[in-house]
């Protein structure tokens, strides 16, 4: 199977590294195109994938195509391309719906929200597909996604909040840990910032292992750490007072951003369909 990737930024590179590292595919199964050719050249030293001279070549040669450009680059690029009707199109863009993708491709279409952690073959890929995706196309895609970590099938109604929990979360967790380290150093200047960061990273890895290998729930882990009447309990009550508001704000603001992005994508679509064929030709 030829796996096409257009766009070799964070997500395109994650797909190359994650899929190749998993051993599920050989780099030769990948055919890749990026606007900036140097990115492909550097990565190809490690994973000798096929490089296409243009995006159209990827469409012609691939059986499944991962489109990894930014949301607002996606539909304009797809309109420039001539997609073979059988091609299974997979978008990874936040804010681009299955309906948006169906407006540019009459064949099988899936939407995946991947995560940067899949570069290490862990993490959650969110997945949904349209009615044109056959059981064997779906199975082939799920096999690739399972090589990258775990897969959660999701609805359009839940995908935005789930995106924050799976796909934004690595960045958000890093942001939380940085604030934690900075606060520790503000509170205790004798502690070095890099030392505080190292302590938190190792502690986060240990915490993840306890949760995973011992199957502990968050509440069980808290019970093990927070000695009754002890120190951690004081910290937890501060979190209980302050964090609900912070996370409510975070989800509110990220939902607003999703809404804005969807409006911009829809506007791109509306302005395209309202143009006459002649005007369309002029704008290209």
Ligand X SMILES: NC(=O)C1=CN([C@@H]2O[C@H](COP(=O)(O)OP(=O)(O)OC[C@H]3O[C@@H](n4cnc5c(N)ncnc54)[C@H](O)[C@@H]3O)[C@@H](O)[C@H]2O)C=CC1
Q: Which residues are annotated as a binding site for NADP(+)?
A: 6-11
Looking at the Cβ atoms of 168 and 269, the one nearer to ligand A1CAB is: 168
Residues with Cβ within 8 Å of 97's Cβ and at least 6 positions away in sequence, in order, are 111, 156, 262, 265
68 binds, among ligand A1CAB, ligand X, none (CB under 5 to 8 A by kind): ligand X
Least Å distance, CB 218 to ligand X, is 24
DSSP annotation of 81 reads S
Of 1, 10, 193, 220, the one binding ligand X (CB under 6 A) is 10
**3-state secondary structure labels for all residues of 153-172:** ECCHHHHHHHHHHHHHHHHH
Contact between 93 and ligand X per CB under 6 A = yes
- Which listed residue (91, 129, 163, 268) binds ligand A1CAB by CB under 6 A? 163
Instruction: Name residues contacting ligand X, limited to 157-196 (CB under 6 A).
Output: 167
Identify the CA nearest to 204 among candidates 163, 172, 240.
172
Residue 40 touching ligand X (CB under 6 A): no
Between 81 and 100, how does the x/- string for binding to ligand A1CAB read (CB under 6 A)? -------------x------
> Which is closer to ligand X, CB of 20 or CB of 265?
265
Q: Hey, what's the torsion of the CAs at 93, 101, 260, 35, to 10 degrees?
A: 50
Under rule CB under 6 A, residue 168 binds ligand A1CAB: yes
Strand order in the sheet with 64-67: 50-51, 30-33, 3-6, 64-67, 88-91, 109-113, 124-129, 150-153
Residues 41-80 contacting ligand X, CB under 6 A: 55, 68-71, 73, 77
The listed partner (ligand X, ligand A1CAB, none) that binds 7, CB under 5 to 8 Å by sort, is: ligand X
For residue 52, the 8-state DSSP code is: -
Q: Which SS3 state, helix, strand or coil, does residue 54 take? A: coil
- In degrees rounded to 5, what are phi and psi of residue 125? -100, 130
Contact 32, 50 (CB under 8 A): yes
- Positions in the binding site for ligand X (CB under 6 A): 6-11, 33-36, 39, 55, 68-71, 73, 77, 92-94, 113-116, 167
- Positions in the binding site for ligand A1CAB (CB under 6 A): 94, 163, 167-168
């Amino acid at each position: 199977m030829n796996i096409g990737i257009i766009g070799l930024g964070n997500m395109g590179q994650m797909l190359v590294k994650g899929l190749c590292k998993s051993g599920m595919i050989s780099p030769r199964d990948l055919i890749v195109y990026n606007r900036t050719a140097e990115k492909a050249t550097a990565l190809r030293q490690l994973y000798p994938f096929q490089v296409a001279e243009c995006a159209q070549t990827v469409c012609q040669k691939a059986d499944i195509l991962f489109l990894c450009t930014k949301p607002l680059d996606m539909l304009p690029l797809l309109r420039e391309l001539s997609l073979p009707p059988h091609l299974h199109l997979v978008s990874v863009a936040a804010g681009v719906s299955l309906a948006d993708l169906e407006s540019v491709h009459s064949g099988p279409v899936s939407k995946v929200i991947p995560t940067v952690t899949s570069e290490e073959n862990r993490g959650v890929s969110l997945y949904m597909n349209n009615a044109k995706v056959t059981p064997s196309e779906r199975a082939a895609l799920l096999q690739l996604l399972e090589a990258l970590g775990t897969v959660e099938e999701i609805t359009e109604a839940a995908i935005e909040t789930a995106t924050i929990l799976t796909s934004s979360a690595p960045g958000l967790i890093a942001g939380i840990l940085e604030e934690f380290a900075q606060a520790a150093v503000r509170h205790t200047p004798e502690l070095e910032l890099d030392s505080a960061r190292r302590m938190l990273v190792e502690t986060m890895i240990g915490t993840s292992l306890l949760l995973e290998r011992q199957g502990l729930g968050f509440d069980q882990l808290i019970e093990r750490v927070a000695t009754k009447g002890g120190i951690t309990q004081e910290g937890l009550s501060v979190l209980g007072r302050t964090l609900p508001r912070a996370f409510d704000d975070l989800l509110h603001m990220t939902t607003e951003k999703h809404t804005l992005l969807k409006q911009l994508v829809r506007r791109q679509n509306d302005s395209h369909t309202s143009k006459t064929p002649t005007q369309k030709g002029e704008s290209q």
